Amino acid sequence: MMARAPLTRRKLIVGIAVLSAALAVCLLAGMSVGVGRVSLIDWLLGRALSEADRTILFEVRVPRVLLAAVIGGALTVAGVVFQALLRNPLADPYVLGVSGGASVGGVVALLLGLGSGAGWLSEAGVPLFAFGGALGALLLIERIATVGGRLTVYTILLTGAIFNAFSAALIYFIQSIASLHQLHEIVFYLMGRIPSPGAGEIGFLSAAILAGSLALMTMTRDYNALSLGEEGARQLGVDVDRIKRRTFVVASLLTGLAVSVAGLIGFVGLVVPHMLRLILGPDHRLLLPAAFLGGAAFLVLTDLLSRMLMAPSELPVGVVTALIGGPFFLYLLRRRGHSHGFA
Amino acid sequence: MTDAPQSALGQRRSWMPALAALVLLILAGAGCADDESAAPGRRGSLPGTEIDSDSVAIVVVAPAAAEILEALGRLDRVVGIADFGPWPAAIADLPSVGSYDNPNAERLLSLGAELVLTTVSQAAAPSHRRLQELGIEVVALDTATYDGVFRTVERIGQLLDRQDEARAIVARMQEELAGIERQAAGLKTRRVLVVVGRDPLYVAGPGSHLDRLIAIAGGTNVAHDAISAYQRFSSEAVLERMPEVIIDTSDNRPGALRGVEPGWWGQWPSLPAVADGAVYWVDPSRLVIPGIRLPEMARLMSRLIHPETFGEADARELSAIGSTAAPGPSG
């Protein structure tokens, strides 16, 4: 199963250092290049900035780039652990139905008009409802998928798929009773976009996503054991049920946070884990931190492209993640497919 | 799988309208007229049809078409509307035939509809064809361009035997638009941004009637280089291009912000429009859907862009058409 050389300390350090550097370069590029001519480099060099430039840089671009980074990290980490937990290469953060719950919550908020008008509710109403929907879905799916006190892979996958289909039907229903204007809002919301949030929001989201990702990183040895199958992992002394439940809850919360703020951004949580697995091998001690760094860099870069490709018009970031991620993944698969962790 | 019985049922069902259409076609004894090829009609009947233009039962699913009927004095022939307006008061209480892009055929038939007035839409084209098969004349109006609007007014006039009135209306519209354009031409142009959606930011770009309205009213559209008429747009570009006037039509819900207020844009005080108190929250019904009110829209636009010349816009002019409770202007 592990065709590549086992993980050495040296490989771990080099891998994480290279990906950290890549993320730093992407962050710098994302903050330096934009439709506005001002660049982060101007600020770093201490050049005088006009008020408009300051606003562009610190209220629009930097928050957006930071948000793209933490969301990319969250989705990719969630993707890796879902793939490990379910031992299914097609698993992505959206497979468990939590995203469906979040979408329904966000769309209900839009239908109720919470996103309009002034006040804190107009800023926070939609994400809060979406996160509420994600939590509701998580509780429901966890309860339904627990059979005889255990979460089984089969029931998790099936419950998630059915819950997502059910959510899609609910959203179609809401769309069919929404006005034309609300319909537009709903479509754009579901398409996914990366907003420019305030400092408080960024701080809270970064802290929550980092905490969740670190919590998952404490279980990397267990994920490695799980690749031998649940029985194999049990024989190695892994408390499989506890690991599964914890992972399921934490990764779902990460996904719920990401979807509430940015909508459904496809491909990041499916393809980036596989790319990294192809390049770095299947050992989760390296793969999981690499997923956070690589996913963050990937979404920062694709968001940069979505801003610049048709400037000053913008493309939905999900379009770019798929257009860039899809071909690149196929290329990697053709070149290195045989050492793939799932092969 | 459980799909099999369902799809069998679906197939059986799909025969029904086709059969009904066939029966109707035979009974009517006439082919469906292609609405593009309709010839100038005999007096008293819709061109190319057997429908009497004095007693025709019309269902109007596009508010823009209802306004044209109103101007031509033919709202009395309307027997049904669609779910979302705004509709002229005289027809607002009529039964609805469902959504604009997919009117309910059974409801149309039970209302005795002979003519459906709608606007050109790719998504709705199949449902329009189906209605034609059922013997209901569908006229899809092109209100996307100024010339389209003028042609549309004349077309409806022709269909309803109001040719002279229609021509007079078009002439008056063109005159008013030209008048505003002439007056604004001498003024200093201001940089204008018209917002149609806020999260993500969507703006009126080149090719939209709003882009043209801005030009007529003496402004330049800061989003004139967007890649299409209504386009997701970079907020960095907005900040850098410093619009002097922002017209935000992004929300049509009851209770949405109206009037001269910075609102959401107040977070960016460096924008000249915010600093000068020139952020207008306008109901989309006032500006967004082109039609017979184009001159009115141009006048409103000119007051928003050049209030010193054309006069301050009245609060009522910024709230929803037909709304009685006008919020007072503030800020």
ipTM: 0.74
- Asked whether the predicted pLDDT for residue B295 surpasses 90, the reply is yes
Closest CA to B100 of A181, A333, A229, A56: A181
Asked whether residue B42 carries a pLDDT value surpassing 50, the answer given is: no
Q: Does A61 touch chain B (CB under 8 A)?
A: yes
**pLDDT of B13:** 44
Q: List C-alpha distances in Å: B89 to B26, B94, B255.
A: 38, 10, 20
Q: Per the structure block, which two tokens stand in for A314?
A: 């913008």
d(CA A68, CA A71): 5
Domains and CATH numbers, chain B: 29-161 (3.40.50.1980), 188-318 (3.40.50.1980)
pLDDT recorded at residue A101: 92
Question: What distance in Å separates the CA atoms of residue B20 and residue B235, rounded to the nearest whole number?
Answer: 53
Which residues have a Cβ under 8 Å from the Cβ of A202 and sit 6 or more positions away? A63, A66, A67, A70
For residue A316, say if its preceding peptide bond is cis, omega within 30 degrees of 0: no
Q: Kindly calculate the radius of gyration of chain A based on its CA atoms and give it in whole angstroms.
A: 20
Which residues in chain B are contacts of A50 at CB distance < 8 A?
270
DSSP string, B189-250: PEEEEEEEEETTEEEE-TTSHHHHHHHHTTEEETTTTSSSSEEEB-HHHHHHH--SEEEE--
Q: Is B232 in contact with A116 (Cβ distance < 8 A)?
A: no
- Would you call B234 and A34 a contact, using CB atoms and an 8 Å cutoff? yes
Establish if A313 touches chain B: CB-CB under 8 angstroms.
Answer: yes
CB contact A36 to B (< 8 Å): yes
Chain B residues closer than 8 Å to A181 by CB: 251-253, 284
Nearest beta carbon to residue B234 from set A181, A182, A314: A314
Residue B155 Cα, gap to closest chain A Cα (Å): 26
Joined tokens for residue A182: 């609300």
Chain B positions touching A194 (Cβ under 8 A) are: none
* Structure confidence at residue A336 (pLDDT): 65
Q: What is the pLDDT of residue A73?
A: 97
Residue B19 has pLDDT above 70, yes or no: no
HSE-up of residue A142 (Cα within 13 Å, Cβ side): 19
Q: Which of B217, B222, B243 is CA-nearest to residue B233?
A: B222
Distance, in Å, from the CA atom of A61 to the CA atom of A49, rounded to the nearest integer, reads 15
Tell me, yes or no, if A64 comes closer than 8 A to chain B by beta carbon.
no
Which chain A residue shows the shortest CA-CA distance from B198? Answer: A185
Tokens, residue A340:
């793939």
Which residues from A are below 8 Å from B242, CB to CB? 52
What's the pLDDT at B50?
63
Residues whose CB is less than 8 angstroms from the CB of residue A177 and which lie 6 or more positions away in sequence, other chains included: A111
> Which H or E element spans position A29?
helix A9-32
What confidence tens digit (pLDDT) does each residue in B125-154 have? 777 888 888 888 888 888 778 888 899 899
Q: Inter-chain contact A311–B237, Cβ cutoff 8 Å?
A: yes
Pairing of strands B58-60, B115-119: parallel
pTM: 0.79
Please answer whether residues A245 and A297 qualify as being in contact, where contact means their C-beta atoms are separated by less than 8 angstroms.
no
Whether B329 has a pLDDT exceeding 80, the answer reads: no
What is the least distance, in Å, from the CA of B163 to any CA of chain A?
Answer: 33
Q: What is the pLDDT of residue A116?
A: 58
Q: Nearest 10 degrees: CA dihedral of A44, A48, A53, A58?
A: 40
Give the pair of three-digit tokens for residue B108.
């149309």
- Chain A residues in contact with B269 (beta carbon < 8 A): 51
Residue written as tokens 């053709």? Answer: A334
Which chain B residues are closer than 8 Å to A55 by Cβ? 239, 268, 270
Chain A, nearest residue to B268 by Cα: A55
B251 pLDDT above the threshold of 90: no
Q: Which tens digits make up the pLDDT trace of B46-74? A: 556 667 777 889 999 988 889 999 999 99
Identify all chain B residues contacting A37, using CB atoms and an 8 Å cutoff. 240
Backbone angles phi, psi at B70, to 5 degrees: -60, -45
| Cβ contact A52–B235 (<8 Å) | no
Q: How far apart are CA A9 and CA A286, in angstroms?
A: 10
Q: Do A35 and B264 touch (CB under 8 A)?
A: no
Q: How far apart are CA B72 and CA B291, in angstroms?
A: 13
**Total Cβ atoms within 10 A of residue A234:** 15
> Contact B237/A310, CB-based, under 8 Å?
no
CATH of the domain spanning A9-339, picked from 1.10.3470.10, 3.10.310.10, 3.40.50.150, 1.10.357.10: 1.10.3470.10
CB A145 within 8 A of CB A152: yes
Where b means 16+ CB within 10 Å and e means fewer, A190-220 reads bbbbbbbbeeebbeebbeebeebbebbbebb
Please report residues of B whose CB lies closer than 8 A to that of A180: 84, 100
The pLDDT score that the predictor gives to residue A337 is: 57
* A194 near B CB under 8 A: no
pLDDT bucket at B17, cuts 50 / 70 / 90: low
* Partner B contacted by A174 (CB < 8 A): no
Comparing alpha-carbon positions, the chain A residue that sits nearest to B101 is: A180
SS3 of residue B293 by DSSP: coil
> Which helix or strand (DSSP H or E) is residue A62 part of?
helix A62-86
What is residue B226's DSSP assignment? S
Rg of chain B over Cα atoms, rounded to whole angstroms, equals 23
DSSP string, A233-270: HHHTT--HHHHHHHHHHHHHHHHHHHHHHH----SHHH
pLDDT (tens place) for every residue of chain A, 343 residues total: 344 567 888 899 999 999 999 999 999 999 999 988 888 999 999 888 888 888 889 988 999 999 999 999 999 999 999 999 888 888 888 888 888 999 999 999 888 877 655 555 566 778 889 999 999 998 888 888 888 878 888 888 888 889 999 999 999 999 888 876 778 788 888 888 888 888 888 999 999 999 999 999 999 999 999 888 888 888 888 888 889 889 989 999 999 999 888 888 888 998 899 989 988 988 999 999 999 999 999 999 999 999 999 888 888 898 899 888 888 888 877 876 555 555 4
Are B203 and B196 spatial neighbours (Cβ–Cβ below 8 Å)? yes
Question: What gap in Å lies between CA B135 and CA B114, rounded to an integer?
Answer: 8
- Per the CB < 8 A criterion, the answer to whether A195 and B100 are in contact is no
CB contacts of A42 in chain B (<8 Å) are none
Q: Nearest Cα to B231, choosing from B204, B271, B199?
A: B204
With beta carbons less than 8 A apart as the criterion, state whether B124 and B153 touch: no
**Can you name the residues that pair with A25 across neighbouring β-strands?**
none
A314: closest CA of chain B, how far (Å): 5
Residue A161's nearest CA partner among A229, A245, A92 is A92
Which residue of A117, A181, A312 is in closest CB contact with B237? A312
Please give the DSSP secondary-structure letter assigned to residue B164: H
Across residues B74-89, what is the average pLDDT? 88
